[in-house]
């Protein structure tokens, strides 16, 4: 059982380049999320999805786009990378919105992105 | 003021000792509370949920104080493998998770 798989694990981009980060989960979870983690800060939500075909903005959506064409996949796109987007990106999934008592997110192993 | 605040540490603790750290949150309407553990250069993993009545899982005890708006994590008989960053997480009334920046714990032999 792979859980949540992110690709790639590392990437270096030049300013202005574009790329797509892929997140795949095999747990049949409805909810999927993209976060970024920067030193000294908590995880910040970029975009999320509550089901196939739906996406919504999180706390820091500017400069990113997402798509959820299939339930198991959630893609994060950077159209024109900027140095401020240098970060560690985590994808996560969950069964529901968190109403259950044993609620928890399953995270992928992260993508370390450097924009130069 | 940050919505979820944690002492960044590091807490340097000898093996076998008891260590506790707190996390404060600003939104009194927050609904659920969690502790996650994150090892260096790894993803966060759920350690435990925090219930109103407090809860214990082996050497770990979590407490919630709604009146003072903080949660705590107590680790007894600390092990070298407990070295990690502990993330405090609060779920607001919109079911969004708000993450603290984490408290770094280093257990020394």
Question: What's the CA dihedral at A71, A77, A83, A89 to 10 degrees?
Answer: 10
- CB distance A105–B46 less than 8 Å? yes
Which pLDDT does position B1 carry in this prediction? 64
Q: What are phi and psi of B70, to 5 degrees?
A: -145, 160
In our burial notation (b when 16+ CB lie closer than 10 A, e otherwise), range B9-33 reads: bebebeeeeebebbbbbeeeebebb
Chain B partners of A97 at a C-beta cutoff of 8 Å? Answer: 95
Tens of pLDDT, residue by residue over B9-51, are: 999 999 999 999 999 999 988 888 999 999 999 999 999 989 8
- Name the pLDDT band for A3 (thresholds 50, 70, 90): very high
Q: Does residue A100 surpass a pLDDT of 60?
A: no
> How many angstroms away from the CA of A116 is the closest CA of chain B?
21
Chain position carrying tokens 């996650």: B36
Are A106 and A5 spatial neighbours (Cβ–Cβ below 8 Å)?
no
Chain B interface disruption, residue of A34, A57, A89, A104, most B CBs within 10 A: A104
């Amino acid at each position: 059982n792979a859980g949540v798989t992110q690709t790639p694990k590392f990437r270096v981009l030049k300013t202005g380049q574009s790329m797509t980060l892929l997140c795949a989960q095999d747990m049949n979870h409805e909810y999927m999320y993209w976060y970024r983690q920067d030193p000294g800060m908590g995880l910040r939500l970029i975009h999320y999805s509550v089901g196939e075909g739906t996406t919504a903005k999180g706390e820091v959506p500017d400069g990113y786009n997402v798509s959820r064409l299939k339930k198991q996949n959630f893609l994060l796109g950077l159209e024109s990378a900027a140095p401020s987007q240098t970060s560690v990106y985590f994808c996560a999934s969950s069964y529901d919105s968190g109403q259950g008592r044993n609620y928890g997110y399953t995270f992928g192993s992260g993508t370390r992105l450097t924009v130069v | 003021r940050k919505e979820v605040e944690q002492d960044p540490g590091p807490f340097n603790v000898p093996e076998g000792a008891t260590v506790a750290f707190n996390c404060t949150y600003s939104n009194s309407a927050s609904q659920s509370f969690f502790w996650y553990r994150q090892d260096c250069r790894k993803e966060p993993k759920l350690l435990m949920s925090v219930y109103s009545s407090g809860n214990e899982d082996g050497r770990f005890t979590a407490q919630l104080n709604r009146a003072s708006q903080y949660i705590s994590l107590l680790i007894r008989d600390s092990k070298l493998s407990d070295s990690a960053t502990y993330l405090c997480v609060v779920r607001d009334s919109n079911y969004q998770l708000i993450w603290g920046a984490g408290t770094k714990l280093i257990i020394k032999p």
